Amino acid sequence: MAGTAAGLASTKVWAAAPPPAPESYLSLRAVARRIAAREVSPIDLTRRMLARIAMVDPVLKSYATVMGDQAIADAEKAASEIAAGRYRGPLHGVPIGIKDLCYTKGVRTMGGLAVRRDFVPSEDATVVTRLRTAGAVVLGKTNLSEGAAAGYNPAMDVPLNPWNHDRWPGMSSSGSGVALAAGLCFGAVGTDTGGSIRNPSSANGVVGLKPTYGRVSRFGVMPMAPSLDHVGPMAREVADVAILFDAMAGRDPADPTSLDAPPAEAVKALGGGVRGLRIGVDRAYALVHTDAGQARAIEAALKVLERQGAVITPVRMPDLSDLVPTWAAICGAEIAAAHAATYPSRAAEYGPYLREFLETGASVTPQELAAARRRRAQLTAQMDALLDTVDAMAGPAGGDPAWPITHALQTGPLPAYHRAWGAAQPRSAEFTMPMDLAGAPAICLPCGVSADGLPYSIQFTGRRLSEALLCRVAFAYEQATDWHNRHPQVQA
């Protein structure tokens, strides 16, 4: 296990650190081209990535389990296939990380839960199967919060934001976000129930795509709230996310909620540009009572798109005054059901945050749940109507700038965490939960930097099944700017 000691080893990024290793910060697409051209061997690349993890991750704690032997075996297989002319595509031989919520055959899958510390699945999650079929090399399982909620179990590791160890690493896909930002993988899997792809992506300055609900199979992924859970890709650049998404998406008979939709083909859409596309923005929703620097960064990003021919179009978000109670009732009831086999019977093995969340969820009455589901249906219809008027909607991503946090706060009780979160980012949920409730796709990517050196992000939300179009918009913005080339200084 990578990094078994809990606690903060050092609270600041190393000021005098050398520049990051260039190879570790290559885009997935760039390293794929080198592999395809046989300029780099998947075996050598995997060994170097494992060595970097061994050097860096005892501090950052992005990985829960490093799968060194299996990664080398997979890399050897990829190298042999490529040498024989059997190149599978841009993921072949590329080292990635898998969130430890996703089953991996023969490798423990803990879900951030002490109660699942010894669980070893007998099969891979569908998303893992598809990425391996595409030739990806799995370096290991990335850390996450307990049960994919916001707080961590005190017995488990808490990833550190590589930009500043005193700042929030994001929510449950934090290990994936940290590993990408620190150059410890070239792509990763995340999940998003209330913002857990977009929060860690924005907090760590990487790209995250929350797909349409059902676009990526949830089979073999530990549930948090099945009607809200989304599985999606995270990477350092938009094209990398598109590559991962194309491999992950598709109907899965093992998941009855998965969609029978045409292939995503997000990579093919990347070069289409934004000329004539309508980019919606509700400035009162997106830019008022948010971080002033972030608001300026988003305005600047809209100007970049406008110069490329996009039409910036005013829109109005639905009333979100009851957003959090609606989400909390549905998620709370569903997570309580998901943990019924071990909670409350093994309550002592749960951390204080998740214990309180489960207790609250178990107290949701059938009448309250039915009312929340009715409100969700109304909000979904309102979001659908709004998104039908534009090609994409722009706004904050919810996790940036990363706010000050302590280890004690992240492993402590729910009220203290939420008080601190509410004081630091009172509107964070407004930028992520509507998309989860409505099942609408959203992508976030870097768009600036704060005065104290932390990443800013912009989020684009679209109609159902519009992931390719969202990648196209995000790629056009990314290629016109340089924010994706900034990386934290990580000692290695």
3-state secondary structure of 447: strand
Residue 395: strand pairing partners: 459
Q: Are 3 and 64 in contact (CB under 8 A)?
A: no
Active-site residue, from 27, 41, 145, 172: 172
In 3D space, the residue among 175, 193, 261 whose CA is nearest the CA of residue 232 turns out to be 193
- Residue 99 falls in the annotated catalytic set: yes
Cα 436 from Cα 433, distance rounded (Å): 5
Cα 234 from Cα 119, distance rounded (Å): 25
Active-site residue, from 27, 196, 217, 258: 196
Quick one: residue 439, left, alpha or beta (phi over 0 = left, psi -120 to 50 = alpha)? Answer: left
- Residue 217 falls in the annotated catalytic set: no
Beta strands in 315-431 (DSSP E): 392-395
Give CA 52 to chain center in angstroms.
22
Active-site residue, from 99, 173, 201, 457: 99
DSSP character for 115?
A: G
In 3D space, the residue among 29, 247, 221 whose CA is nearest the CA of residue 135 turns out to be 247
- Residue 196 falls in the annotated catalytic set: yes
CA dihedral 117, 193, 225, 463 (to 10 degrees): -140
Query: How many residues make up the chain in this entry?
Result: 492
Residue 352: strand pairing partners: none
Tokens found for residue 70: 């299996």
Q: Are 419 and 354 in contact (CB under 8 A)?
A: no
Give CA 423 to chain center in angstroms.
23
Residue 188: strand pairing partners: 97, 234
Cα 369 from Cα 361, distance rounded (Å): 10
Q: Which residues are catalytic?
A: 99, 172, 196
